[in-house]
Structure 1
Amino acid sequence: MINRVVLVGRLTKAPELRYTPNGVAVTSFTLAVNRPFKKQDGEQEADFIPIVVWRKAAENAANFLNKGSLAGIDGRIQTRNYENNEGKRVYVTEVIADSVQFLEPKGTHSSNQSASGDNYSSGSKSTGISQSQGAPSFDDPFTGDGKPIDISDDDLPF
């Protein structure tokens, strides 16, 4: 079976970081993802998708993402249910993120939107955080001064 989700969108509010009774970090936020078409009146539609991130990636997401931040999510869909205070069964569908990619440096989300209103700007730096990585670095080694890049064979992964 395949259950894989890849999303790119903007956070609708700041992430909420909590800890389980066992001390495991969990962060939740909602990602606004534009639909690939517009309504007849030209208005862009979006879906608002709940995202849950666990452990170190949860702490990094809470520390480095804010309302409006552009983020890429790689994960899976999960459903759960519970009984609310009124005794009614509530069903929840959310994306459990395996990896969160920070697609622009912190604090630059408002200046990175294109004139067409498309929030998926092509000039963004990609600095990612996954479950196994540490804090992001916003220094892009490939921004050009026109000089050749010196990479030894030992640095290549193949």
Structure 2
Amino acid sequence: MLNRIVLIGRLTKDPELRYTPNGVAVATFTLAVDRPFTNQSGEREADFINIVTWRGLAENCANYLKKGRLAAADGRLQIRNYENNEGKRVYVSEVVADNVRFLESGNSGQSGNNGNNGGQGGQRRGQQGDQQSNQRFNDDPFAKDGQPIDISDDDLPF
């Protein structure tokens, strides 16, 4: 048997962190995942998929993911049900993620960057320099292999 899902999308809002009565962290958030085709109007639609993470991963997601950030979630599909206040059976589909990758740094998100304009000691290059750097990165991802990487402490998830 196999139950594996890999999703890449943008967060629709900041993750919500809660704790069970036993003190176990659980974070929930929703990823907007674009569909690979357009509708009859030529517009692209998205699916909004609920993600659940547990323990340390939940705390990391709550601390470092923000609305609008691009993230990848790897986990399993879980369907659960319960009876609501009106006595009706309600089914909930969600992905219980074993692994979440933060695909954008805190400075490059489309929204939710909290006004952070660079990390400690980080030098801001001109916009043209950034475009040239991005172009080189897109051409050859191993062009700077073996060279030091300039990462601010704000970009690290730990």
Q: So what's the TM-score if we normalise by structure 1? A: 0.70
Question: Which residue is 1:105 aligned to?
Answer: 105
How many Å apart are 1:52 and its aligned residue? 0.3
Task: Within 5 Å, give how 1:9-158 maps onto structure 2.
Answer: 9-110=9-110, 144=144, 149=146
Report what 1:138 is aligned to: none
Which residue is equivalent to 2:118?
none
Aligned to 1:117: none
Any gaps of 5 or more consecutive residues in structure 1? 112-122, 124-141, 151-158
Q: State percent identity of aligned pairs.
A: 67
**What is the distance in 2 between the residues matched to 1:72 and 1:48?**
14
Moved over 6 A (4+): none
Q: Tell me the matched-pair count.
A: 118
How far apart in 2 are the matches of 1:91 and 1:26? 20
Secondary structure in structure 1 of the residue aligned to 2:58: helix
Q: Which has the higher helix share?
A: 2
CA distance in 2: counterparts of 1:84 and 1:35, whole angstroms: 31
Instruction: Classify 1:32/1:108 alpha carbon distance in 2 versus 1 (closer, same or farther; 3 Å).
Output: same
Give the Cα separation in 2 of the matches to 1:55 and 1:86.
33
* Matched residue SS, 1:57: helix
Distance 1:56 1:107 in 2: 23
Structure 1 residue 40: deviation in Å? 2.5
Letter of the 1:61 counterpart: C
Q: Deviations over 1:115-148 (max 9, x none)?
A: xxxxxxxx6xxxxxxxxxxxxxxxxxx773xxx6
1:154 alignment counterpart: none
Residue ranges of structure 2 left out of the alignment (5+ in a row): 112-133, 135-141, 148-158
SS where residue 23 of structure 1 aligns?
coil
Q: TM-score, normalised by structure 2?
A: 0.70
Residue 107 of structure 1 deviates from its aligned partner by 4.0
